Each structure stands twice: as C-alpha cells, then as structure tokens.
Amino acid sequence: MSEELLQTVPQKIGGYVYYKLGNTTLKQLKTNGLIPKKNYGELESKKPDGLVLYQGAVKAMVEYKQPKHLSSDADIKKAIKQEIDVAKALCKIFIVTDGTKSYWVNALNGELIKDQNGANINVVFNPVLTKNVDAVESLLTMIDASIGEKESSIKSVRLIDPTPLATRLWQTIWVATGKSPVKCLYNVVELFIFKFLSDLKILAPDVSFEKIYQKSLDNPAEALDYYARNSRVKIYKLFPPGTDGTTIINGTIFVNEQGEANLSQSLLFSRSLEHLQKYAEEFGSLTKIDKQFKTKLYESFLKQEVEALGQYFTPRKIVQTIIRMAGMDESSFQYQGKRICDPFCGVGGFPLELLNMNESMKSCYSPDSKGKIDLPFKLQGFDKGFERDDERTIILAKANMLIYLTEIIFANPKRTTEFAYVFNNTFSLFKDNLGTFGHIINDEEDKYDFILSNPPYVTSGSSIIKEEIQKTPKTQYQYPINALGLEGLSLEWIVKSLRKGGRAFVVIPDGIFGRFGGKKLRDYMLQECFLDAIVSLPVKTFFANSKHTYILVITKKNNPDVVQTNPVFTYLVSNMGEKLTSVKREEIDDNDLPELETLFKIFSGAKSTSKKLLEKDYGRCKIQSIDVFKNSSHWVIDRWWTREEKIKLGIVEDIIAVDKQEIDVLLETFNKALKKYDNFIEANQVFVEKGKDVSLGDRTLFKLFIGKRIIKKNLPSMEGNIPAYSANVVEPFGYINSTNIENFDYPAILWGIDGNFDFSLIPANSIFATTDHCGTIQILNNKIVPEFLLYALNVAKVEESFDRAFRASLANMKRFQVRVPVLDDGSFDVETQKRIASFFTKSKEMEKELAEIKADLDSLLARYLTSNKLSHG
C-alpha cells in the first residue's frame, strides 16, 4: 500500500466517501481494492487527485488545478482534455476545480454537465466546506442518475408518490387471496420494503429486486423460493429482530410462519413484482419518496378494515394537530434530554409524524463518524396486541420508520444494523398478557416528559386484563382507581408514567367524561395533574367509528397538594378538512384545526388573561374556570354551549351529515360481529358432566347480608373515595368516607334487590359500601371461582321471576341454588369452573360490543331518516 493511502482519511459527503490523493497510481489503487481490478493499460501510472466512491463504486474523479490554470476557456478545455481518459476509465463524472470554482464534466463524452434549465453546473466541489456537503451530495446523485454517453443534462427530479403502486399491489393480493385488507397490507409492505432496499443499494445484486424479477419471468416458483431462502433471509440479517422478536417484515401470504416459500402463490408473487417493475420504469426508483406518502401509507389501507386489528388508528390530521398543540414541530422545541412516548402506538403514527414534522429531531438519526447513532432524546412506542395477529402492528411501525428515514438511510447504506438497533429501541412489543399495563415505571428519571397517544377503547378483553392485573404481584396495587374499560386503565397508566411537569395529549372517548362511574378517574386526574384543555372532535373522526372523541391535555403536578387556579381551554371542532360522511374521506376547505392550534398557543402563553380575547372573536373557544370541572357531574364540554351559540356557529347535530353508504358499512360491521359471536358460542360451549346444587344459604360456602340505608341527598356533603352501590350494582351512585361492611378479605358478588335483579363482581380486598337496596354474597370457599358463580347466578336467575312483587330479599336469596361442577371425588372442579367463566366473560364482552354497534346503527338510521324528512319538507 502506498504511503499516501496509509495516511489518507476518507471524508464523508453524505452517503458518499471522498479520498484526497495525488501520489497514488491507478495500479496501486487497483491493488488495494479502491478501484475495479481490470487492465487499465498505459493509464495505470496515472495519479488522480481525488476519488468519490459510493458503496465501494467509483462515482467521480477530481482533478485539482491552480486558479491561474483555469483563468480562460482555453485553460479549462486543456485541463479537461489532460485527464478525461483516466476519468472515463473509472466513472461517469469528472470534476475539475481550484477550490473556489468547479467544472462538472461528463467523462463519457467530455461535455460540461448542465442543470435542468440548460445552464452549466457551477456548484463548488470543496468537501472542507460543510455547508456545501448537502448540495454536493444531492448533485452527485442527480448527475449519476441522469447522464450517459449521449446525455449530459440533469433530468428533472420529482419526488415519488407510490400511493397508486401500493393500491394496485394491495388490490392484486386482496382479489387473489380473499384475505383481510390488513393481512394483505403486511405483504404489500414487505414487497415494498424489498424494492425499497434494492433501490437504496442496501441489498446486494445477487439478492436484489432485479435478480428476483428476472427469475420470475422464466420461473415464478423458483423466483419465490429464491426470494424466501436468500433475499428475505438477507433482510433479516441486515435488520436483525429486537428482543421482542420483531423486525421490519413479516408477510404470511408468500411465505409461511417458518419463512418457507408458499409456492401456491408464486404466480401472484410474480404479478406483484411486475407491478413494482412497471412503476419503476415509469416513475423511477423509490429513493426519493414524497413526504406526504410517508404519512398516509398505512392510513390508506388500515381505514378499510380497522376492526380487524381491534384498534382505531388516529387520522394524520389529528396527529399533526396534537404535535403542533404541543409545540413539538417548532425548530425551537428543546428536545435534548426529553423522553417522549406513545404507550399504545399501533403502527407508530405519533412518534414518526413527530420526526416528519421536526427536521431537527430527524437529523439526529444520522450516524456519526464512527457509524453510531447517539440520540439526544428518547422516543418510544410500545404496544401489546389483544388479538392473535396484532403483534404485526409493531412490525409495521418499524417498517414505517424505515420509510420515514429514507434520506438518512440512503446516505448511510452500510449502517443497517445500527438503524435496526434504533428501530428496535423505538418500537417494542410486550408479549405478556398485560402489555403496556404491566410496564410499571417507578423511577422518576424513567418517566416521560411527553406522552402522545390514542389509547385502546374498543378492544375486547378489558375484564380479563383487569383480572390479570389483580393477580399479578407487580400490578396488583398499581391501579387503585379501577376505572371502567381499557381507556380508564390507559389514562391511569399515563398519569402515573408522566414526569413531574410532564404533559400528555391523549385522544379519548366521551364515556370517561360523561359516565358517572368515571368521576373517580376525573377526580384522580385533577388531584395529580393540571387540566389544560379539552377539545371536542367531530363524530366520525375515526374511520368506521361513530363514537364521540376528545383531545385531553394535562400536565403532571410537581406536588399533588397544589390546587389548580388556572382556567381550562375548551374548543369545539366541527370540521377537520375532510368529508367525514364519506368513506373515501375527500378533502374539503372547511377545517377548524388551524384555528384550534393557533388559539391554544395563545392560551398557553397567557392562561390568566386570554379569556376575553379568545371568547370575543372565536365562538368555538371557551375558557372555563377550573371550578366548573371540579363541581360538574360531567366533562362533556359540548353541553356548555347553548343551542343559540351552536346555531350561530353553524354547528348542526350531524343530522344532515349521513349517507346510505355509512349505514351499509355499519350494518356490515354489525353482521360480522354477530357472525363472530355465533361462531364463538357454537365453538366454545362447555358442558358440565358432573355437578351438584349448592345453596347460597350454606354458611360454610357463603355469607349473605343486606346493606344499610344511605340518604342520597346527603351524598354531596359525604366526600370520600369509597364507592357506594344501591339497586344499580354495576356503577356506584356516589362516594363516601366510611363503609358499613366489616370484612373485605373475600371476593363478593352484589345483587340488586329490586328492578332487574342484576349481579356484579367485586374482587377481594376492594373496599365498598352498599345500601338497603343492594345485597352482598361473600364467597368463603376458595374452590368456588368467583367468575363462575357470577355466570351461574346469571343462568339461574332466568328460571326465577324476581320482581318488585316477589323481591330478591335476603330470605329468598338464601334459598337460591346454583349448580357447580365437581370431580369424581365430589370436590369442586376448579378448572372446569375457570373454563366456563372464561367463556361467559368473553361472550358478555362480545354481547356488549354487539350492543354498542347496534346503538350506533340505530342512531345513524334515526339521523338518516330525520335528514330525509327534512330534505323532503
């Protein structure tokens, strides 16, 4: 190796590497592998001044001249002619420069290279000038992709929007397989990533898209097999899985779960590759992807069948608004040392859109001179699938991150392992039953400065998760509020996981704000946090979901004893720039989100003085006293605008905003849910072969008692945190400061003495109180499973006819009998009880889901009929 090569330190120009030379011959460069090993003839003694390489291939040769030797056109032509043959032997681009001016030459024909407007390129090639690096990198890429022996001009470069390509791929796979749109999406993403990595030159030629495509023209089955055994394996090696076992691909149509080729789909595989090839021939490579494509890739497909993932993915417009409300899109955002999280991240919308909107944060993902990515902040998203296939959302999130960081990865193609490390540390899948709810953060340093999230509130299984929380030691005492639904648990987790002074921007359904049973959670938030804002979003904000949702903004107190005095920002959003009555979501001009963002920033800068300004000119905004929230029985802010105010704002009760297509979509959703329920009932019924009747009056098994009278009108003055139950045994009617029950060591079932004769289960060690309209059954024998007894009571009550005339009194209930499974020796069969209880719990959750969909359908039909009546006079 020459002395010069030993001393040369390669210099990065983005994704390119520059070697400053001058005393090293082509022969020496060839020997040391810096240029291709071929016979250069009489040129082997030539000594180029500099070389620019990309992934080991020579892209440009540089010739340095003294300024006096480039002072005239004749001098420039002479300088080019002297070394053009050497440049032509090595590459397409020849740069002649004196350090202050540069001439870019097509080495294949000796012509000066021109830009898109026909002018000579005049960008100075001087790697020492760091401000010039981006321009030189971009120019090298554009020239290399444009010039040839007969072409010396840069072609117009346009950003690629592959949405039509992704749509064609998805439709092709969907029609051919009949799989759900979401499962088809996994495979669209995998093929897209395959072509994407090939275009970025990250995949070697022998496993690249071009190689597989050419094979597919002759033998589709052989091409698919080669892809599965080679290309796919290589992608896994380049982007190794994290500790959760997930990486950036996991389609299961062209390969099985073991990664073996599914040869029955080889023709479909070949047709899919053909779509990708035709797109490339028409529009070019995927190395320059339009920014908007990144933000809408998954949304375009997930909205077609969001129910399949059991989640409602937040529309990009809402994600972007929340990021702007948080001020995280601004260049002044101080992200150093910050911890940012979406604990229910789905496909990664919040974390990745943040990078899409904040270029300064995104630039932190560029590797340093040692190839390491040392982020000055912590950005995390994690999730747990509540259905069998949901873990793939994390895989989609990682693939999504790859696409979001296109330009940086393109500039650093050999750092895939480092990028994989970043992907895996950004997105994590919790594989235990509790998922995020089991991820308890106690150390203040590990908590978060910002939590942006849309927690789950439709996914089935909340009662099972709550049961798991109660029996898991590390979580048993972490959720004392025991709020209703997954959204309640999610908010409790979020409040606990914020650092002091940390802020949360959370999208939640109206139930938390409207249910009386949600008061305890609302009080808990006021105790631990400052309430900053509540924003009402339009009905149908989420695809295929007519629930009313809100943006909740809270700030964790440094000291819970501090009483909030600042007012609260509230706002009504009616339009968000999309036609919400349309399945296709066409863009419209009406959009309240920009005004919301602006007014919230004004309010944030002057909370105590902005009321008069904001309410005077902006009718959608109201600055409410914190006392309103402390004293009100609900936080449904829409009710705090009068009808006259809503009419003035043009807010219509969504009566006219209904079309028949929406009804058809919801009706299909109901039918799917009904079929799912029927199939579950048919497949999972458990029959008791051996059982014995037990009486609730058996004192060795149960203790029954009736509560004492509580005068409801005294409740406002009886402040406390102990729930009190009456005839409604499902939700407490209030909270008091003492209980009339002595022992809480046993699980209990409450029954309503009057009315519908309902039951509800209270876990052991849960403190509560009851009135004289509510009875309690404490289960003294641990061989009787509480959930099974709840099931058995519901079954047995069908045979009874308790009503107000024949009450479920204490005496009558002691005569009540239920049948409990037993083993051959006559002892209680615990395992069979658990199986029956699990079946009962799941069926009740599915019944609840059906009831909710039916209620939405009934509401939609009523609005549709009303709108037709109005439109026809």
The per-residue pLDDT for range 18-49, each reduced to its tens digit, is: 998 988 999 999 988 889 888 999 999 999 99
- Where do the domains of the chain lie, and which CATH numbers do they carry? 3-146 (3.90.1570), 311-385+432-649 (3.40.50.150), 691-828 (3.90.220.20)
Alpha helix ranges (H) inside 105-180:
133-146, 163-177
Residue 595 sits at φ, ψ, to 5 deg, of -65, -40
Q: Residue 296 — pLDDT band, cuts 50, 70, 90?
A: low
Residue 632: per-residue pLDDT: 87
User: Which carries the bigger pLDDT value, residue 764 or residue 856?
Assistant: 764
Q: Is 675 exposed, middle or buried (0-12, 13-18, 19+ CB in 10 A)?
A: exposed
pLDDT exceeds 60 at position 308: no
Sort strands 587-591 and 448-453 into parallel, antiparallel or unpaired: unpaired
Residue 711: per-residue pLDDT: 63
Tokens of 259: 């990664």
Q: Give strand pairing partners of 279.
A: none
- The percentage of residues in the chain with a pLDDT greater than 70, rounded to a whole number, is 83
Rounded to whole angstroms, the Cα distance separating 587 from 481 reads 42
Nearest residue to 502 (alpha-carbon basis) of 564, 544, 446, 455: 446
Residue 592: per-residue pLDDT: 92
Rounded to whole angstroms, the Cα distance separating 427 from 424 reads 5
Where is average pLDDT lowest: 288-297, 566-575, 769-778, 849-858?
288-297
Residues 156-174 as b/e (b if ≥16 CB within 10 A, e otherwise) read eeeebebeebbebbbebbb
pLDDT exceeds 60 at position 299: no
Tell me how far CA of residue 661 lies from CA of 279, 537, 542, 666, 673, in angstroms: 33, 22, 16, 9, 18
pLDDT exceeds 90 at position 601: yes
pLDDT exceeds 50 at position 395: yes
pLDDT exceeds 80 at position 811: yes
Where is average pLDDT lowest: 108-117, 259-268, 584-593, 708-717?
708-717
Cβ pair 191, 216 in contact under 8 A: no
Cβ pair 351, 380 in contact under 8 A: yes
User: Which carries the bigger pLDDT value, residue 104 or residue 738?
Assistant: 104
Rounded to whole angstroms, the Cα distance separating 801 from 258 reads 56
Residue 735 sits at φ, ψ, to 5 deg, of -130, 135
User: Which carries the bigger pLDDT value, residue 405 or residue 861?
Assistant: 405
Which residue reads 């091409």 in tokens? 223
The pLDDT of 711-734, averaged and rounded, is: 72
Q: Residue 870 — pLDDT band, cuts 50, 70, 90?
A: very low
Nearest residue to 52 (alpha-carbon basis) of 44, 42, 62, 65: 62
| CA 138 to mean position of chain CA atoms | 32
Nearest residue to 596 (alpha-carbon basis) of 323, 354, 357: 323
Tokens of 38: 């071929």
Residue 305: per-residue pLDDT: 42
Residue 836: per-residue pLDDT: 84
Rounded to whole angstroms, the Cα distance separating 230 from 234 reads 6
The pLDDT of 431-446, averaged and rounded, is: 87
Side-by-side strand order, sheet with 722-725: 734-736, 722-725, 769-770
Q: 466: which residues sit within 8 A by CB, 6+ positions away?
A: 479, 482, 489
Tokens of 620: 């959608």
- ∠ CA 560-565-569 to the nearest 5 degrees? 105
Residue 502: per-residue pLDDT: 97
Q: What confidence tens digit (pLDDT) does each residue in 613-625 have?
A: 788 778 899 999 9
The pLDDT of 292-306, averaged and rounded, is: 53
Sort strands 498-509 and 549-556 into parallel, antiparallel or unpaired: antiparallel
The pLDDT of 853-865, averaged and rounded, is: 72
Give helix 266-283 / helix 181-199 axis angle, nearest 10°: 50
Q: 675: which residues sit within 8 A by CB, 6+ positions away?
A: none
Per the prediction, the chain carries an average pLDDT of 82
User: Which carries the bigger pLDDT value, residue 721 or residue 832?
Assistant: 832
Q: 608: which residues sit within 8 A by CB, 6+ positions away?
A: 566, 567
Rounded to whole angstroms, the Cα distance separating 675 from 849 reads 13
Side-by-side strand order, sheet with 102-106: 11-13, 16-20, 50-54, 57-64, 93-97, 102-106
Q: What confidence tens digit (pLDDT) does each residue in 836-848 have?
A: 888 877 887 788 7
Residue 364: per-residue pLDDT: 94
Residue 158: per-residue pLDDT: 52
Three-class SS state of 766 = coil
Side-by-side strand order, sheet with 759-762: 702-706, 774-779, 748-752, 759-762
Tokens of 8: 């040369």
Q: 173: which residues sit within 8 A by CB, 6+ positions away?
A: 179, 184, 187, 188, 253, 268, 272
Q: Residue 386 — pLDDT band, cuts 50, 70, 90?
A: very low
Tokens of 605: 């800068």
Rounded to whole angstroms, the Cα distance separating 237 from 420 reads 10
Residue 324: per-residue pLDDT: 96
Cβ pair 732, 725 in contact under 8 A: yes
Compute how many other C-beta atoms are within 10 angstroms of the C-beta atom of residue 278: 12
Residue 682: per-residue pLDDT: 66
The pLDDT of 493-513, averaged and rounded, is: 93
Where is average pLDDT lowest: 397-406, 445-454, 775-784?
397-406
pLDDT exceeds 70 at position 311: no
Q: Give strand pairing partners of 114.
A: 120, 153
Tokens of 265: 């789909």
- The percentage of residues in the chain with a pLDDT greater than 90, rounded to a whole number, is 35
Nearest residue to 107 (alpha-carbon basis) of 74, 82, 142, 134: 82
User: Which carries the bigger pLDDT value, residue 870 or residue 692?
Assistant: 692
Residue 656: per-residue pLDDT: 43
- ∠ CA 354-349-474 to the nearest 5 degrees? 100
Q: What confidence tens digit (pLDDT) does each residue in 129-188 have?
A: 656 676 788 788 778 877 888 889 886 555 556 667 777 777 777 767 767 666 777 788
pLDDT exceeds 80 at position 383: yes
Q: What is the largest CA-CA distance in the chain?
A: 115
Rounded to whole angstroms, the Cα distance separating 614 from 603 reads 8
Residue 149: per-residue pLDDT: 87
